[in-house]
Amino acid sequence: MKFRFQKREVLICFLAVLGMGFFLSFLILCNLGTDPCTFMNRSSAHAVGISFGTWQLLANIVMLAIVFLCRRSLIGFGTLFNMVLVGYYADFFNWLWGKWIPAGVFTAPASRWAVFAVSLLCFILSAAVYINADMGVAPYDGIPIILGELAAKHFPKTPKMLVRIAWDGAAIAVGTLVGGVPIIGIILMALFLGPAITLVRKYVMHKSVEA
């Protein structure tokens, strides 16, 4: 487990999670697509009639149990920050923007796309900083790591990226089955998150790309 208490890394991780929840709230209000995990959890929360934050926490608890049993070294402060805070931050900021920002900002084509583009970029950068802080992975991200290790053991030629794509695809399928509609943001997230992680690791966190 990654529960070493290094103030700088813990603070960076906490602020990155705050940034993820903050910018995720704008992505949700723009309704042009989010990451597969958020899409699945928001769709499921809507289907059962509870808040996104509460559903995401419950889903994360289930996935955390699997990660704990199979690969507990993936768990750390970042795991807990992510699983507990991102959904509730998004709910809180959604409530706040509903009181402070006119709804037309998120529906008029020009402003909607502008807010979406900036929020998507900032969310991806926040997620990249979170991942590069190396304080544990989100439960959702831990599952494909475990599946990838199993695939490598039994099917050595299976690309790790293929396992991740299949996992994200399954999340999108679940979200769609419970009533969600996948939109362009999911594709953009998949295209740009990987390069953003590499850039942040090299130029912001000052770590070698190969590390």
Query: In this structure, what token pair is assigned to residue 157?
Result: 């030629």
Q: Could you state, in order of their start, the residue ranges of all structural domains in the chain?
A: 7-204
Residue 31 DSSP symbol: T
pLDDT at 1: 64
Query: In this structure, what token pair is assigned to residue 148?
Result: 């990838």
Give the pLDDT band (50/70/90) at residue 84.
Answer: very high
Calculate the average pLDDT of the chain. 87
Phi, psi of 162 (to 5 degrees): -65, -40
pLDDT at 47: 95
Neighbours of 191 (CB within 10 A): 11
Closest CA to 94 of 113, 57, 119: 119
Segment 146-158 shows an average pLDDT of 86
Residues 2-41 have pLDDT tens digits of 666 677 888 999 999 999 999 999 999 999 989 889 999 9
Give the pLDDT band (50/70/90) at residue 156.
Answer: confident
Rounded to an integer, what distance in angstroms lies between the CA atom of residue 144 and that of residue 98?
35
pLDDT at 176: 93
Segment 175-189 shows an average pLDDT of 86
Rounded to an integer, what distance in angstroms lies between the CA atom of residue 78 and that of residue 114?
30
pLDDT at 30: 94
Q: Does the structure show a pLDDT above 60 at 206?
A: no
Segment 159-184 shows an average pLDDT of 88
Closest CA to 200 of 89, 94, 192: 192
Q: Does the structure show a pLDDT above 60 at 96?
A: yes
Residues 36-77 have pLDDT tens digits of 899 999 999 999 999 999 999 999 999 999 999 999 999 998
**Type of residue at 65:** A
Segment 170-194 shows an average pLDDT of 84
Give the pLDDT band (50/70/90) at residue 110.
Answer: very high
- State the pTM of this model: 0.86
pLDDT at 187: 80
**Percent of the chain whose pLDDT exceeds 70:** 90
* Coil, helix or strand at residue 76: strand
pLDDT at 211: 38
pLDDT at 2: 61
**Type of residue at 148:** G
Closest CA to 59 of 176, 177, 6, 138: 138
